[in-house]
Chain A
């Protein structure tokens, strides 16, 4: 087969994408294995949030905004980010050192410094029960504990200011872009909600989403933003010591304060999501809800290039060239650009020029979905040598997407179709109740 013939053949298949995709019934009409298209609320967490705290914030938001809007399902996803410059958790080490140093100043025996549970509350509010009981027994003013809080919060503000001066790089939010790729490909309406430093990650994600959409299908809500860059409504409380504290580090261009709140007894920082902005007893919560509702109301359904699935696989790469996604279904059916329809799913997005994405989805229809192992591979078909590919599998049942980053390997053309580079596999089984469950290998 000559190169020209091959290209013509491929073009024929590409032209037929919609017809082929339509051959596998859309999930909306099939069953309840997947949600129908609707809204996704993406949550970008704030400064000093552990993974747990970030997930907690997402659920808090879900409780506020609900699971249905305008008759369509609303899904929630975290876009997690940590505070610190690298994978060595530098900022966390700094905070630990500050705690130990200040604790030793208060208690020279070292007993306090070894009790790290006191660090956690000192970082948020030393008036919480742990500290309150201690100072009560010792009969010393709470101001003593507040010394540690002040030292830690100063460190946090300094770290935040450093992040503003050196914003996250593409490497930091590469996986966030993959989520945006999936959501825009599958035709979701997207509301991004960022708190605190999450705004530094949301802004590039929003800009990126705009490049993928031709419709008004993404909106933002900025809660406690530090960056002057706003692409939607914002909320900043007068009692937010973290954001207002940035001014002392020379960062004077924070957005205007537009929320007056009474002080609370459990969030001295006036900055946390659950303790201040979504506090069930104060006005911030309603304002966030109003802004989010306005954002949701403004969104229009974008055209969908790809279907939603019981699970989906997305391939993207970093530049020009043609990299192909290959799927081997449990019965051995090979789904790829020359054979887009499988027994279970289909390759419904094919890209031959640059960047991707390519997209496979497994049917949501219980009578079509098969138990067994689904294997995914890639092939550098043409002109992509040296590129890095990312494959991300997302499960309709929720949880963390499975992401693999790898070199696309040498250009192999048609020869590579039969032996793509293996990337990952997904097992589909039925649990004791007969419910389909997917797990990554």
Chain B
């Protein structure tokens, strides 16, 4: 790879680039899915290539190729410079990057079991066992289960002198049971929707999830939803399970703090943000209990946003985003950091693969657990009247990230400190800052889970990225519930 890097860097420099970085990526994936007692999908895949990013005439250019011969990568580097010169025809100012050091390093996701060392037969057997448990429950009409393994090896070189070799293992597993009857389709998923739980780990994640042990309960809940009452409409105190709170963070904290959105760079597609730069360290984002960090370091856990360096060679960091309710930080890049007066990037640039440019992406955007011991049971016991929401089913938020609406697969009424009747089709909605300011309790560290969201879309061309979100169950007061079904 060092040869390839020198061919590229030399070509870019000779063509007049003032900066160049490149990422060579060798990626491998295995996906196995079962459906109603059969293997629905079985595939291995691999992808190799290099993406070259340059600045020439004060503007960005990028070109990527799968062909790693000297002739090909030199032609691609020259092409990137040509693209940059075209960009320079339409610019308002010269690009300035926040300074960064050169790093020479090597890093690999800590893992116990290489998922690609597990046998495909065993993978299939596990999924079919889950499938069998799900379909043993009368009323289940569709059972789907999934295993997903990915190994992502990247060599990053830059004209600053960086030479960083990183390898990540990403494992995911989960399942869903559907029950169709009459005029309703109900669904329950485990351990989360969107295919289950994903982390930067080896196969040990699959072993930790206790997939088979939970299947019967999940299937029974899917069927039971048909007899459950419709979630009422009105204003209620609500308790969110940790996975739903993780998605709430993703949509109403994680996206609005992306500094490229704030600066209008995503205005045509993903949108902008209500968090204009005047709100930094002035906006009361949430109640005193709300503490959110963007933490890509390994100390935070094996989240989908964990790495040692981002994709422009900046070290992983922990940035306080909301501190006792006060808005304190953005996700930034070398290009955007100067806009908020920062002297360095917060290290959040990531690309989907070798053929995409890095963009500002959520790392692990997590709410910190409460200081005092508080279990979910104790939280519910302290709630007089409310609704408990579990496992996301639908999610939507406006393009400045103010108004949101979420639906979950299942809910329960809380009355007198106890979980009461099951509720179907629960939904809640609100305005971001009003919602976070209404948080009046959050469970402690022992209830905290670092969830993985594998399917976050951003950019043009669209890139899909995994993000991490740690959360404990939490309670919010006087939230609007049930308008999703009103008068449709």
Q: Do A and B come from one complex?
A: no
Interface residues of B (CB under 8 A from A): none
